[in-house]
Amino acid sequence: MNTSRSRKLFEEAQRLIPGGVNSPVRAFRSVGGQPRFIAHAKGSKLYDVDGNTYIDYVLSWGPMILGHANASIVSAIRKSATRGTSYGAPTQLEVTLAKMIRQAFPSMEKIRLVSSGTEAVMSAIRVARGFTKRDGVLKFEGCYHGHSDYLLAKAGSGLATLGIPDSLGVPADFAKHTLTAPYNDIQSVEQIIRQHGKQLACIILEPVAGNMGVVPPAEGFLQNLRRLATENDILLIFDEVISGFRVHYGGAQRLYGVPPDLTVLGKIIGGGLPVGAYGGRQDIMDLIAPSGPVYQAGTLSGNPLAVTAGIATLTRLKQPGVYRKLEVAARVLAKGLGDAAKKAGIPLVQTRVGSMMTAFFTSGPVTDWNSVKQSDTKRYGQFFHKMLEQNVYLAPSQFEAAFLSTAHTASDIEKTIRAAHTAFKSL
């Protein structure tokens, strides 16, 4: 496979941009080799600068649930751009998107739009601290909530992939209010609450973990967290940046029937443009400036172009049958991958919630960060490259999710499964 133009661009990029990328996981450090520079994308496909085509299961790390350059999203953005790209003033578009989100997530009685998931998480935690007048935050190992200083403690995603347990540049003072428990381990949460409950402003988690690879919540885990948070006046925050509008139109909270006090959204609600959101109980959200004393602001918050893309995306996701189609395609793919691994005698544990899934190179089980990190990341890297050579673009890290879109066809899935048979046999 010719990757000479990508190689040249990567050399130049590394002279200008740290690691040659604007987000670490894109550098292929965890799997080695040469990142592909993408020229354009359409539907389920990526096209790199050397003319290679790939079936894409990264989908920009989740947002592109309708596939790339979806015609109706593109035309909505095009029309919106002719009316100007940013006003720094309120628009009807923001009211429309807030209404659509609240209709899908009734626990989000009030919503604030921002420009990234990180910004949304940071703001949700600030208002949780303001509301409870407590400083402590309980998070879970392997969950990633963006790069705010105090959350880079045993984070998943990029940090886990780069094998850096904590980030340089985060003062110990900032991290000292952050407590960490193993995912799916309710006993450890009970113990932490016994010791620190009175200092805890919030418990934050990915209700379906995606940043250590996909790890679903154990039976009753979310329900018990809800009970413990209520009993101890701790706010429960669901970071649904990945799972929101992914695992269900109403997110994981709808799928599992557990309402948090605050929810964080991102990715899909921007339709590929920069949008984040946080929201929840009105008595909490009314503390946010200008209606209250918790400050948060943003030049491009509620940007008309990005909000237009979000509205167009949710409008299509609301159509009947969308999630059924995603579920069927993901189930066929997962079965095919499992059969291929079994035939080649490769130990593989697969996890999946709807159209987000991971194949762990381990004999399992995978329930938390400690167990997923037993995976053979070297073998994952070999599998990744064998698939890439066959024009299948998986996440360049064992500790990320693979995603499907409504643009993935039966032929894409068949090709992927055939490529997997070849790849597993080569390991």
**Catalytic sites, residue numbers:** 144, 239, 267
CA 390/CA 419 separation, integer angstroms: 6
Spatial CB neighbours of 381, under 8 Å, sequence gap ≥ 6:
30, 31, 32, 398
Closest CB 143 distance from ligand KE4, rounded Å: 7
Please name the amino acid found at residue 369: W
- The structure tokens 């995978």 sit at 366
Pick from 59, 153, 215, 242: which binds ligand KE4 (CB under 6 A)? Answer: 242
Q: Verify binding: residue 117, ligand KE4, rule CB under 6 A.
A: yes
Q: Closer to ligand KE4 at the Cβ: 124 or 346?
A: 124
Distance CA 208, CA 235 (A): 18
Q: Which is nearer to ligand KE4, 168 or 172 (CB)?
A: 168
Binder among 210, 271, 304, 381 for ligand KE4 (CB under 6 A): 210
State the residue for tokens 């923001």: 94
Q: 368 vs 424, which CB is nearer to ligand KE4?
A: 368
Which H or E run contains 128? helix 117-132
Sole window of 92-100, 140-148, 159-167, 215-223 interacting with ligand KE4 (rule: CB under 6 A): 140-148
Binding mask 352-391 for ligand KE4 (x = CB under 6 A): ----------------------------------------
Binding flag, residue 211, ligand KE4 (CB under 6 A)? yes
CA 249, 250, 251 angle in degrees (round to 5)?
Answer: 95
Residues 251-280 that bind ligand KE4 (CB under 6 A): 266, 276
Question: Any residues with CB less than 8 A from the CB of 333 and at least 6 apart, and which?
Answer: 357, 404, 413, 416, 417
Classify residue 223 by burial, with Cβ atoms within 10 Å: 0-12, 13-18, 19+.
middle
Q: Tell me which residue has its CB nearest to ligand KE4.
A: 117
Which residues within the stretch 20-59 sit at the binding site for ligand KE4 (CB under 6 A)? 23, 25
**121: contact with ligand KE4 by CB under 6 A:** yes
Binding residue (CB under 6 A) for ligand KE4 from 140, 144, 361, 403:
144
CB of 344 to ligand KE4, least distance (A): 28
Output 126 or 419, the one with its CB closest to ligand KE4.
126
Subset of residues 54 to 93 that bind ligand KE4, contact rule: CB under 6 A:
61
Separation between Cα atoms, residue 179 and residue 408, nearest integer Å: 40
158 binds ligand KE4 (CB under 6 A): yes
Question: Does the footprint of ligand KE4 cover residue 206 (CB under 6 A)?
Answer: yes
Region of residue 321 (left: phi > 0; alpha: psi -120 to 50; beta: else): left
Q: Strand 276-280 vs strand 110-114: parallel, antiparallel, or unpaired?
A: antiparallel
DSSP string, 186-221: HHHHHHHHHHHGGGEEEEEE-SSB-BTB-BPPPTTH
Based on CB atoms, which residue is closest to ligand KE4, 151 or 346?
Answer: 151
Q: Which stretches of the chain bind ligand KE4, using CB under 6 A? A: 23, 25, 61, 116-118, 121, 144-146, 157-158, 206, 210-211, 239, 241-242, 266, 276, 400
